[in-house]
Structures are given as structure tokens and as C-alpha cells.
Structure 1
Amino acid sequence: MPPSTHGPTQLSPARIRLALFALALGGFAIGSTEFVAMGLLPNLAADLLPGLHAAQPDVANAQAGWLITAYALGVVVGAPTIAAAATRWPRKKLLLALLVAFTLGTIASALLPSFGLVLAARFVAALPHGAYFGIASLVAADLMGPGKRARGIAVVLSGLTIANVIGVPAITWLGQVAGWRVAYLAVAGIFALTFLAVALVVPFQPGNPHSSIRRELRALGRRQVWLALLIGAIGFGGLFAVYTYVSPLVMDVTGLAAWAVPIVLVVIGAGMTIGNLVGGVLADRSVRRTMYGAFGVLVVALSALALSARFLAGLLAGVFLVGAAAAALGPTIQTRLMDVAHDSQSIAAALHHSALNVGNALGAYLGGVAIAAGLGYVAPVWIGLGLSGLGILLAVVTFAIDRSRRRLGVHVPYGTAAITVVPATWLRAHLPGG
């Protein structure tokens, strides 16, 4: 890894690795706080909605899924707001402020007594989510240097995916043994540790003195930005429709005991970790091919899971492939957004996580509706398949627009390089002898 310069000093490869580790640790904490509710959904329902849970456990589980939806909506609101408003802040200072907010919001989630208050706390705790990942991705891309942006983004996102291998299963087990409130306090401790790590090893990076809210918001006027966001939101709904209700899927469909839920979460997390890293490498070569390939695997995996979830082998293979394919889309869509947003980098990087959490909210909501309607715990998998199919159609549209613009000689980002193609008709009209 080549040395990187930031301000007056030169960073060694070892310092860069430490900085990337600190940023990834934040992703680990965020992944833990976001996804642990999915493994503890029955516990949350029994404690916060005791009367409803005793009478109608399926309906209580579906209503407890609103906690996941509330967190996702907090990300959607907070990501563009914070990223646009704080774009001139030094990046390290902003990251530290966001980590303080995460720590306090997660403590509040653990201590508040009622379902309504915990619901509100989950929304507030989610506000820094997208801004953290957006700014951390920009810092990591800068540390890695040209030609390795997607790999830098994948390193940051690897904290989130590794959380699904280690953090979420461990904290789910802790929540089952000691109570879900203790689980959330443990997550708050990880956020506090991340604050110390970022403070110690992440180098200073200035904000953009020429940026402004108005300039950042220009990204929202670009059609290709909206298409990339829709691809993330609708496509990732396929993952979250499954992930939100993985606990009842494991216990009620496959027929396993509660102790198997953390194991299945490890399998999903392993798939996400591998898929994220592979997606980062492949997206540096071609965003388009990587996006098509990941969506193709996701559709096949969801179909197989829906048909074979009652068998242990089908469950494990299905959730592994669903996690891998969905995670490969993460650095791919993030890179696509950075390409099509031009000079609105901060808000584009943050909006990626708004889009993912729209998918989170959409998958959780539609899955809950299907379960509450009595369609069973496999129904969310079929819903996820439909959402992923829409994601493929949107990907076809966005790249078709690219091809159309290239035929007109418009500067179009393609993979990691931007190219300008001059139509042959123009050449024939303007070159001598043409």
C-alpha cells in the first residue's frame, strides 16, 4: 500500500491500516446496533408488548419489527441532513461528534421503559448512521488513493459485515441470556471504544471550504443519482425482508430451537463479509458488470431459500448466498453514486445509506404485513425476490441511459474511469475527408 499524505505529514502504510481499522470498527458498532434487533425480535416483543405477545405472538413480532423500521427511517432522515449541513467540518471532528451521538442514543434505547419511547430512541440513534458511513467512506477512499476507491469503501463496510459474523450473534446470545437491554448497553460500549480509536489514529482531513448545502443538494437534481438510490433501496429490500424475520424463519419454518438463531446469523454475516470484499475488488474493475452479477445471484438465492427453507441445508445455503450477493452491491452502488454525483460527494456518500435503510424499512414493513395477514414466515422471502427483480430493472435503465449519453458524446462515468465518446457521425462531419 503506497504512503498517503494528509496535511503536512506523510502517513505510513501501518498508520493507514490502523486508520482503516478504526473506521471499520465504527461500521462494526453500527452493524451491531442495527441488526441485533432482528435476532432478538421475539424478546423485544415479549418485554415491550407483553399483553399483545401473550394473546397474538405473530402480531406482536410484526409490531416489534417497527423498531427496525424506525431505525431505518432515522438513517433516511439523518444521512442527507447531517452530510449537507456539516460538509465544511473537518472530517475527523465530524466522525467523533457522530460517535458521541451514537453512544448516547444507544444507551437511551437500552434504558427507556416503554415501546413508544424505545421506538423514538431507535429513530434518534439512527440519525448519525448514514453520515458516519458516508464521511468514513470518503476518508477511506482518500487513504487508499486512486483506483482503489471501492476497496477503501469495502474496508469500512467490512466492519458492518463482520458485525454480522461476530457482533450480532454474540450480542444476540447475550440478549437471550441477560436481556435485550444488556445487549444494547454492550453495543454502546463498542461505540465508546470506536470514539477512542478514531480520536487516536484517524488523520486530520479538512472539510471542503468551497462546499455548501446548496452545492451538495445539486446531487438531488441528477436523474442518475436518483436511479442509483432507487437501485439500492429496492434491491436491498430483498435482503432485509429476509433478515428482519430470520428468527421466526429459523424457529417456525425450519423447526430449530432458539439457540440456532445466532448460528444462522453467523452464516449470513459470513456471506456478507465475503460478498462485500469481493464486490469491492470487482467494482473497481467494472461497476456495471458487478451490479448485474450480484443481482443475478441474489435472485437465484432468494428463490432457492423460499423453496427450501424448511430444510436445514437449504436454509443455510440460502441465507449465505443472499447475504453475499446483497453485500456485494454495497461498495458497487456506493462507487456508482460517487461517480454520478460529481462535486456533491458528501451527500452522495451519505445518501447511499439512506437508500439501504429505505430498503431496510421497506423489507421489514412488507414482510410484517405479509406475516400479519397470515401468509407465514416464508412470505417475506418471496417479497424480497420481487423487490430484487425491480432492482435489476432499474439497473438496466440506468446503464441504458449511460449508453445513450455516450452515443451523444456526453462525459459518462464507467466503472472507475470516466470516458467521453464522440459519435462517428460527428467525426465524419467535422474531420477532413470525413
Structure 2
Amino acid sequence: MPFAVYLLGLAVFAQGTSEFMLSGLIPGIARDLQVSIPAAGLLTSAFAVGMVVGAPLMAVLSLRWSRRFALLAFLVTFLVVHVVGALTTSYGVLLGTRVIAALANAGFLAVAMTTAVALAPPDAKGRATSALLGGVTIACVAGVPGGALLGEVWGWRSAFWAVAVALVPAIVAVLKSVPSGAPGPAGPRARGELRALRRPRLLVLLLLAGLVNGGTFCTFTYLAPLLTGDTGIGSSWMPLMLALFGLGSFAGVTVSGRVADRRPTRLLAICGPALAAGWAVFALAAGAPVPAVVLVFVQGTLSFAVGSTLISQVLYAATGAPTLAGGFATAALNVGATLGPWLGGLTIGAGLGLRSPLWVSALLVAAALVTAAVAHAVGVNPVEKGRPAEAQ
């Protein structure tokens, strides 16, 4: 795998840290800016909405630019808004920086996916995808707890400064390692890529990725109250539990990177049903600490193994729409990451208990399995061995 792909993963790590670190910084932001906790929580929602809307829009915009210029533009924008966020005393300005950061992050991920698979060998899209998504999982393991620690010791602004500093080597690496190619005419390219995105197989894969990611983030969002409430694990252990989920997710993308290009059908046929069953078992066993802790790791592994394999399949299925496919894959993941927690919150609000998001996760993955089965029954096979779409 070219070293430049791992450098792109470094940038994804920094951006992933920014996306998730707010969960540990909300109280400090609320106190410092004199806003309520729910208002501070909107900073997370603003980022999620920006990712969903921004992924396809930024992907289309980037068609006018070379890949290196697009990556640099998005990274520099992300850095600048974090500097502004670290300096501002205005809640409104901070909220605006989160939206702009999300748009830049969405655009970067869309172009980075295209760039990574272009730099990788033709039959290694799964490995390239896992290298990028590995940056997200490392953010869960190290970046998010690190951001929370910085916020505790030096205040929430220090976490924003840390993200800005972490982006500097990524910017230099992109400048030196990613080849600059001339862009084509944006209008014809966009129309051609949109036509390629109409393929039934691709649409099914995007739906499957959204459903699986919805299940993942439905439980991940409410993992802390579940473990401290029903399971009875002390709150001081929560950083370790979140890191354990992150370690599982890193293991998942590592497994996917080794298997997804050669045996994606077997991986999904085994891990997909196991993922759905695992959420249901977790719901039944959440009252006991030992199985709950084991399942935090197992479900993190299965979730990201399945999710990253589906994204690599999106890129295999959309060789005629490489940039927009990355954008729509990013949007699908973030639709799931927005819808899943919302559904989990509804069940908790309805009085169904802290375990109810686990059942929602199980149902979302089960819906993905049913969708895949129906698609196969009508002649649309969403998962095929890794090779260019033109050869399939």
C-alpha cells in the first residue's frame, strides 16, 4: 500500500478526533460560553448535518479541482476554522465553525477515498478503504480520550488547538506525496458520474452502509449511560470502555482490509448476521459487566468490519463515478450516524429503557440483511469479489 494512503489516514484521524471529541467537551463549552448543555450539544448536531449535506455538494465542487488542490483546500479550511473556534468567545461563531468544518471534512473524505483507491493497486480498494477508516477508529481509541483529557487539564480550547496542530503534518504530506492531476470539465464529469450512480447495485450498497452505520452509532451514542446505568460500571471506567470499542473498530477495519478484496461475500455472510445477533445478545446480557465488556469489543469489531467492507464495495461498484461515489458513501454513513442515535433517543424517551438502543441497532442491521436478501432475489447482487465494475 503506498505510504501516501496512510498519510491520508492521518488527516482522517485528526478530523475524526474533532468530530467525536465534543462529547467530552460539552460541559466546559457550556460554562465558558454561558449557554445551556442542550445548546452546546447542538454543536455535535451541526457537524453531523454538515457532513450529510456537504458530502455530495463538496464532491461535486471538487470535480473542478485537481485531487491535491482539493485535499489541501479542505484541510486548510478545516485547520483555519479550528483556530477560529479556539479563539472565539461567541457561541454563534463556534456553531458556524462546526458547520464549515463538517463541510470541509465531508469534501476531504470524498476526495480522499477517490485518491486512496487511485493510488492503491486495482484489486486493493478494500485495503485502501480500511487504511482511511483506520484513522477514524484510532480517533476513537486515542484522539477522543486525548481531547477529553486536554479539555479537563487546559480547557476545551486546547483540544481545538491540538486538532489544528495535528493537521499541519497532514497538509505537508499531501503537498509532497499526492500527485497533482489536471481536472476535467466539471459539468460533463458531474453528469457522467451521476449517471453511474443510478446503478441498482450501488444504490443498494449505499442503503446497506447507512443501515449498518445507523446501528453502530445508535448504540455507541448511548453506550456510557447504558454501561453506567443497567450494567453498573462506574463512570470513571467510561474512557476505557469507549477506547475498548475503538480498539474493536480498529480490529474490524484491519480484518476488512485483509479480507474484503478477496472474500467480501464470505465476510459479510458471516459477520452481518453475527452483528445483528450480537446487538440482541448485548441487549439481553447488558445487566452483567463481563459479557457487556466483551460485547463492547466484539460489536465494535463486527460493526467496522462490515461497514468498511460495504464502503469498499461501493468504490468497486462505482468506478465510473469515483468522486461522487466517495461523497455519497460519506453521506450514507452520516445519514446512518444521524438516524441511528435519533431512533435510539426516541426509544429511551418513550420509556423503553437504556437497553432499547441495542434493540434498535439489531433491527437496523436485520433490515440491512433483509434488504440484501431481497436485492439478491430480484437479481441485484450487491456484493461481488473485488474487481472493477466494468469487468463484472
User: How far, CA to CA, are the matches of 2:227 and 2:161 in structure 1?
Assistant: 26
Q: 1:309 to 1:405 in 2, by over 3 A?
A: closer
Residues 360 and 277 of structure 1: CA distance in aligned 2, closer, same or farther (over 3 Å): same
Identical amino acids, percent of aligned pairs: 35
Structure 2 counterpart of 1:128: 104
The 8 Å contact of residues 302 and 322 in structure 1, kept in 2 or not, is answered as yes
1:362-401 alignment, distance < 5 Å: 362-401=339-378
Task: Please give the alpha-carbon distance, in whole angstroms, between the structure 1 residues aligned to 2:34 and 2:40.
Answer: 8
How do 1:8-47 residues align onto structure 2 when only pairs under 5 Å count?
16-17=2-3, 19-40=4-25
1:102 equivalent in structure 2 = 78
Amino acid in structure 1 at the alignment position of 2:20: F
Q: CA, structure 1 residues 310+208, in 2 after alignment: closer, same or farther (shift >3 Å)?
A: farther
Residue 244, structure 1, aligned to residue 221, structure 2 = yes
The counterpart of 1:415, out of the listed 378, 385, 389, is 385
User: Does the 8 Å contact 1:32/1:187 carry over to 2?
Assistant: yes
- 8 A contact 2:248–2:299 mirrored in 1: yes
Give CA deviations for 1:5-47 in whole Å, capped at 9, x if unaligned. xxxxxxxxxxx32x12211101111221122233445656676
- Match of 2:160, SS state, is helix
Is 1:300 the counterpart of 2:277? The answer is yes
Kindly tell me: are residues 184 and 144 of structure 1, through their superposed partners in 2, closer, same or farther at Cα, counting changes over 3 Å? same
Deviation at 1:123? 2.5
For residues 305-338 of structure 1, give each alpha carbon's deviation from its aligned partner in whole angstroms, at most 9, with x where no partner exists. Answer: 2223333322321221221111112332222222
Q: Report the Cα offset of residue 216 of structure 1.
A: 2.2
C-alpha change, 1:97 and 1:278, in structure 2 (3 Å) is same
Task: Flag the structure with larger Rg.
Answer: 1
User: What SS does the aligned partner of 2:287 have?
Assistant: coil
Q: Secondary structure at the match of 1:415?
A: coil
CA contact (8 A) 1:371 1:377 kept: yes
1:213 and 1:85, CA in 2 relative to 1: closer, same or farther beyond 3 A? farther
2:122–2:388: 8 Å Cα contact kept in structure 1? no
- Equivalent in the alignment of 1:166: 142
Superposed, 1:254-403 pairs within 5 Å as 254-401=231-378
* Code of the aligned partner of 1:415: K
Alignment of 1:198-237 (within 5 A): 198-208=174-184, 212-237=189-214
Q: Residues 222 and 420 (structure 1 numbering): CA distance in 2 closer, same or farther, change over 3 Å?
A: closer
**Residues 115, 378 of structure 1: CA spacing in aligned structure 2 closer, same or farther, 3 A cutoff?**
farther
- Alignment check: 8 A CA contact 1:68 1:364 kept: no
| Counterpart for residue 187 of structure 1 | 163
1:172–1:377: structure 2 CA closer, same or farther, 3 Å change rule?
farther
**1:66–1:254: structure 2 CA closer, same or farther, 3 Å change rule?**
farther
The structural deviation recorded for 1:153 is 1.6
Cα distance between partner residues in 1 of 2:28 and 2:357: 20
- Which consecutive residues of structure 2, in runs of 5 or more, have no partner in the other structure? none
In the TM superposition, residue 292 of structure 1 has moved relative to its aligned partner by 3.0
Q: CA deviation at 1:175?
A: 2.4
**Residues 241 and 229 (structure 1), Cα distance of their counterparts in 2 relative to 1, 3 Å cut:** same
Matched, 1:90 2:66: yes
CA distance in 2, matches of 1:364, 1:49: 26
Give the Cα–Cα distance (whole angstroms) in 1 for the partners of residues 200 and 157 of structure 2.
Answer: 43
Higher mean C-alpha displacement, 221-230 vs 260-269 = 221-230
- Matches of 2:291 and 2:355 in 1, distance apart? 13
TM-score (norm 2): 0.88
Q: 1:89 offset after TM fit, Å? A: 1.7
2:44 equivalent in structure 1: 68
Task: Compute the TM-score of the two structures, normalised by the length of structure 1.
Answer: 0.80
Rate the CA distance shift 1:86–1:119 in 2: closer, same or farther, 3 A. same
Letter in structure 1 aligned against 2:224: S
1:150 is the counterpart of 2:120: no
Please name the residue that 1:6 is paired with: none
Conserved? CA contact 2:264–2:383, under 8 Å: no
Name the SS for the 2:167 alignment partner. Answer: helix
Q: CA deviation at 1:127?
A: 0.9
1:40, 1:180 within 8 Å by CA — same for their partners in 2? yes
Structure 2 counterpart of 1:99, one-letter code = L
Query: For 1:187-237, what per-residue CA distance to the aligned partner results, in whole angstroms no more than 9, with x for missing partners?
Result: 222223321222233333444458522222224433332221111112211
**Partner SS state of residue 15, structure 2:** helix
Distance apart, 1:420 and its partner CA: 9.6
Deviation of 1:416 (Å): 1.4
Deviations 1:357-380 (A, max 9, x none): 101111222223333444443222
Compared CA separation, residues 397 and 121, structure 1 to 2 (3 A): farther
